[in-house]
Amino acid sequence: MYEDKTLVCKECGKEFVFTAGEQEFYAEKGFENEPQRCKACRDARKNANKNGRVMYTGVCASCGQEAKVPFEPKEGKPIYCSECFAKKDQN
């Protein structure tokens, strides 16, 4: 049903293959637009956003260890380290 397509990355201008498997995945997820960037440019863009994030440090309300969070902790509001936050979400 799907066939590999060669697309041109709008970021670097190089050609990349939009595979039949990727097209099927996009269709299953309901994505209507084809990717506009190659895998390397998508990854670089994703990592650039992460590196620009400011992280704040505080004390985990559950275990007392250091916790890094992407928002400024407020007095009286608990923060959690990533392990305790994951456990809290499972309950």
The model carries a pTM of 0.53
State how many domains the chain has: 2
* Whether residue 82 is found in the same domain as residue 44: no
* Whether residue 47 is found in the same domain as residue 9: yes
Distance in angstroms (rounded) separating the CA atoms of residues 24 and 22: 5
Residue 86, C-beta contacts closer than 8 angstroms, at least 6 positions apart: none
φ and ψ at 52, to 5 degrees? Answer: -85, -5
Alpha-carbon distances of 48 from 43, 53, 62, rounded to whole Å: 9, 9, 31
Per-residue model confidence (pLDDT) at position 49: 67
- Stated as kind and residue range, the H or E segment containing 21 is helix 20-29
* Whether residue 45 is found in the same domain as residue 9: yes
* Whether residue 11 is found in the same domain as residue 39: yes
* Whether residue 62 is found in the same domain as residue 26: no
Per-residue model confidence (pLDDT) at position 46: 82
Boundaries of domain holding 77: 56-90
* Whether residue 40 is found in the same domain as residue 68: no
* Whether residue 43 is found in the same domain as residue 76: no
Per-residue model confidence (pLDDT) at position 43: 86
